[in-house]
């Protein structure tokens, strides 16, 4: 997509839509980063699960990239905090 060469005016509705898209992107990115941090912590506490967790870590860059390319958010993406917490407690 080409960038405008002059200032553009946005309506209140357009600003609201942009804000919603940015909030969804931020949410998806934070979920992926939380999953990465939780996986690293699990590997630190249980080194025996390192090989299993490698796939979880390896999926995150793709998920983050999809968040940037999918608009509006499709409802998929990284697990929510409650699911993530349950996975950590159960050793994934």
Place of tokens 């590997």: 43
Instruction: Compute the distance between CA of residue 19 and CA of residue 15 in angstroms, rounded to an integer.
Output: 6
Residue 88: name the closest of 60, 49, 51 by CA: 49
pLDDT at 78: 42
Q: Taking the model in full, what pTM does it have?
A: 0.59
Q: And the tokens for 69?
A: 């390319």
The per-residue pLDDT for 49 is 86
The pLDDT of residue 8: 85
pLDDT in tens, 24-46: 888 988 888 888 888 888 888 98
For residue 78, give every residue at least 6 positions away whose Cβ sits within 8 Å of its Cβ, in sequence order, or none: 28, 31, 32, 34, 35, 60, 63
Rounded CA-CA distance 10/73 in Å is 21
Does residue 72 surpass a pLDDT of 80? no
Question: Predicted confidence band at 92 (pLDDT cuts at 50, 70, 90)?
Answer: very low
């Amino acid at each position: 997509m080409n960038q405008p060469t002059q200032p553009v005016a946005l309506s209140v509705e357009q600003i609201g839509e942009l804000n919603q898209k940015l909030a969804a992107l931020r949410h998806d990115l934070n979920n992926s980063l939380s999953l990465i941090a939780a996986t690293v912590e699990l590997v630190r506490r249980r080194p025996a699960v390192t090989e299993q967790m490698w796939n979880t870590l390896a999926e995150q860059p793709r998920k983050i990239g999809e968040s940037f390319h999918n608009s509006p958010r499709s409802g998929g993406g990284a697990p929510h905090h409650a699911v993530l917490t349950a996975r950590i407690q159960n050793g994934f």
